[in-house]
Amino acid sequence: MATTNPELTSQPVRAPRSALSEGWKQLRTPLIYLLPALIIMMLITFYPLAFQVWMSFTDYGVIKEEGKQTLNPFGPNGTTPPNYRPAQYVGFRNYLDIVTNNPQFVARLGGNFDFWRLLAFNLWWTFSNVGFHVALGVIIAVLLNVEGLWGRKIYRAIYILPMVLPNIVVATVWRNMFDDQYGSINQLINLLITPFGFDPVQIRWFNQIQDPIPGIGLPLSYYAMLIANIWLGWPFMTIVATGALQSIPKEMYEAASIDGATGLQQFWRITLPLLRPAMVPAAMVGIVTTFNLFHVIYFMSGGGPLGRTEIMVTQAFKLINVNQLYGVAAAFSVIIALVLIPIFLITNKISRATESYDV
């Protein structure tokens, strides 16, 4: 069935058929093979997606004022829960509440919600992190790729470490390291400054409201999380860059040095352009992951102080877990997707990452 198609070999002697039925004949076998995967995808991917979009147009959730739930019509033993009522269509209300910062909606969330500030911070958080990841990743990969470097395998084993530790463990450990009373970071700073006659400091990394750098509207907790996330993110980029470095032919460097190019020129003219096809898709993965990086924000700053380091996913999580507004949270998730898709398309266009690349 797989090697020779009897339909094709007998085709010339048969009566001509319509293109449509011909197309169906061609498609039938692949479709049958794809069917199991399609059914599974329908159930576990497309159905929840469609359900969430539907949810975003309703008041789905725990409705405290009326003593009614809209969550699940199926109770134990096939009964309907006594407090169930079907969700009601509310049109674009959830979306409008979010993007217009409806004052009552904002007050119900505690007053710290500002959609446009949230979006701006989320984008800044993403690009500042990925920038550091890529730059550090390439630099460290190039340094570790130096000819005749002693102990290379040990270094490469060590830098896998941040990747194999679970994110939640990393975030919690960093949270404790930045603790104002017991944290090792403050202790280290004091160890370094007290011998010079300075008073010991007790920096409140996650609580300080004043911006450490005036004029840049970013709280101290952003910088603390940036440090933690740089530590977490560069090894992946180094692994990708190391792989790409191995594939650059040595002859190119030899030819360049015969032409009199310096080491720096070789880096800018050979190494970087040839790393690009590998680094750009990796950076795009990094952008999408960092944009939705829940653990670091939630377990380190919790979005504080005053919600200034909240990103979209942590806010969406709070909408469900604290406020139990499932419909609003669904609308929020759709907005996240609407933000991410253009970013993806634009980076893809600029980088031509999914096209073939010729040197």
Partner 1 sequence: MKRLTFSLIALLALFATLLSACGQVTPAAQPTAAPAAPTAAPVQSTTDGMAITGTVTLWHAYGTGSAEEKAINILIDRARAAYPNATINVLQIPFDQIFNKFNNEVSSGGGPDMFIAPNDSLGSQIRAGVLADLSEYQSRLTDVAPTGVAGMSLNGKLYGIPESFKAVALYYNKSKVVNPPATTDELLALVKGGNTLVLNQNAYHNFGWLQAFGGQLMDASGKCIADQAGGAEWFAYLKALKEVPTVTFSTDGGQADSLFKDGKADMIINGPWVLGDYRAVLGDNLGVAPMPGAIKPAGPLTGVDGFYVSINSQNVAGAVALAMFLTSPESMKVYVDEAGHVPVSTKVEISDPLVQAFAQASATGVPRPQIPELDNYWGPFGDAMTKVLDGGADPKAAVTEACALMNTANGK
* Contact set with partner 1 (CB under 8 A): 32, 36, 40, 43, 62-69, 71-72, 74-77, 81-83, 103-104, 107-112, 179, 181-182, 204, 206-210, 304-306, 321-322, 324
Of the pair 199, 259, the CB lying nearest partner 1 is at: 199
DSSP 79: P
Instruction: Dump the DSSP string for 151-171.
Output: THHHHHHHTTHHHHS-HHHHH
How far apart are CB 292 and partner 1 at their closest, in Å? 22
Of the pair 62, 256, the CB lying nearest partner 1 is at: 62
The 3-state DSSP class for residue 63 equals: strand
How far apart are CB 64 and partner 1 at their closest, in Å? 5
Partnered with residue 63 across adjacent β-strands are 68
Of the pair 74, 92, the CB lying nearest partner 1 is at: 74
Q: Quick check: 299 and 175 in contact, CB under 8 A?
A: yes
Question: CB-based contacts of 166: which residues, under 8 Å, 6+ apart?
Answer: none
Q: Quick check: 132 and 231 in contact, CB under 8 A?
A: no
| Angstrom distances, CA of residue 344 to CA of 173, 285, 314 | 32, 9, 21
Of the pair 221, 242, the CB lying nearest partner 1 is at: 221
| Angstrom distances, CA of residue 70 to CA of 85, 230, 324 | 5, 42, 11
Given the DSSP bridges, would you call strands 68-69 and 62-63 parallel, antiparallel or unpaired?
antiparallel
Q: Quick check: 206 and 224 in contact, CB under 8 A?
A: yes
How far apart are CB 334 and partner 1 at their closest, in Å? 21
Of the pair 40, 149, the CB lying nearest partner 1 is at: 40
Structure tokens at 55: 């949810």
How far apart are CB 66 and partner 1 at their closest, in Å? 8
The 3-state DSSP class for residue 132 equals: helix
How far apart are CB 92 and partner 1 at their closest, in Å? 22
- The helix or strand, by DSSP H or E, that contains position 89, with its residue range, turns out to be none
Q: How far apart are the first and last CA of the chain?
A: 42
How far apart are CB 219 and partner 1 at their closest, in Å? 10
Of the pair 118, 130, the CB lying nearest partner 1 is at: 118
Of the pair 114, 261, the CB lying nearest partner 1 is at: 114
How far apart are CB 293 and partner 1 at their closest, in Å? 21
